[in-house]
Amino acid sequence: MSTEKKEPATRYCYHCRTHHPVEEMKLLVTKTGSRWRCIKSIEAVKRSKEERDQYGKQVSAANQAEASGRARMLNKIQQGR
């Protein structure tokens, strides 16, 4: 039996709240500690304010859609009881 721990193939991005392949991530040091963030979100910070706002709206819409999907699933499960 092997006792080796395998590295996960993905990491959680605290910015866009999704998992990305490890190759698309960077470990950043923040005032609260080290956190993983996707390169796409890091590059978005370097753009103009309008482009950043658009990127933020896209991330927010994706997060909202995911949350409402989860809520619908949970609601269906609870109604089935």
Q: Is residue 69 part of a domain?
A: yes
Q: Is residue 33 part of a domain?
A: yes
In this predicted structure, the answer to whether residue 6 has a pLDDT above a threshold of 80 is no
Number of domains in the chain: 1
Burial 52-80 (b: 16+ CB within 10 A, else e): eeebeeebeeeeeeeeeeeeeeeeeeeee
Tell me the pLDDT tens digit for each residue of 8-60.
789 999 888 889 999 999 999 989 899 999 998 888 888 899 988 888 898 88
Q: Is residue 3 part of a domain?
A: no
Q: Is residue 5 part of a domain?
A: no
Cβ neighbourhood burial of 40 (10 Å; 0-12, 13-18, 19+): middle
Predicted pLDDT at 36:
92
Predicted pLDDT at 5:
63
Q: Is residue 1 part of a domain?
A: no
Question: Do 25 and 11 form a contact (C-beta atoms < 8 A)?
Answer: yes
Q: Is residue 4 part of a domain?
A: no
Question: Which residue range(s) make up the domain with 44?
Answer: 10-79
Q: Is residue 58 part of a domain?
A: yes
Tell me the pLDDT tens digit for each residue of 53-69.
888 898 889 889 989 99
Q: Is residue 55 part of a domain?
A: yes
pTM over 0.75: no
